[in-house]
Amino acid sequence: MKRWIGRWLMVVAIIHTVVGVVIGADSLGGMLSDGIINSVGEDMGRCAIAWFLLCGFSLFVMGFFVDWVEVNSNKVLPSGLGWGLLVIIIIGITLFPVSGFYLILPPSIALITRRLNTGGN
């Protein structure tokens, strides 16, 4: 199997995080000036950027793990990982049609088909 799914997810996560820092610069600046700890409060802009960045970091960790499995194991990841990503993508595209959710389609489909091609689920 060619190693690409984990790397793809990590690259998308980096792009996601960079975009978040750029579009959320004002909110992030306010959080920094307030000392980070308990700096989100009820400000929805700060809340949105905090979750946006946390999702990017989580995607990077997932990509790192998938890449590790691709390199260090002859095991195929469970198709449930691909199906789970696909559900997130469908919800994301429904809520945000003009977004980067489409970038996760190739690895999610690859995770599903790899597992199905090996006779697993």
Please count the CA atoms within 13 angstroms of the CA of 7 that sit on its side-chain side.
5
For residue 77, with 0-12 CB atoms within 10 Å meaning exposed, 13-18 middle and 19 or more buried, which class applies?
A: buried
Tokens of 79: 């198709």
Q: Which amino acid is at 49?
A: I
- What is the number of domains present in the chain? 1
Cα gap 19→11, rounded to integer Å: 12
Q: Is the Cα torsion angle 83, 88, 92, 95 positive or negative in sign?
A: positive
Q: Which amino acid is at 74?
A: N
Q: Which residue has the tokens 């890449």?
A: 67
Tokens of 9: 């997810």
Structural domain that includes position 89: 5-117
Question: From first to last of its 121 residues, what are the pLDDT tens digits of the chain?
Answer: 689 999 999 999 999 999 999 999 999 999 999 999 999 999 999 999 999 999 999 999 999 999 999 999 888 899 999 999 999 999 999 999 999 999 999 999 999 998 777 766 5
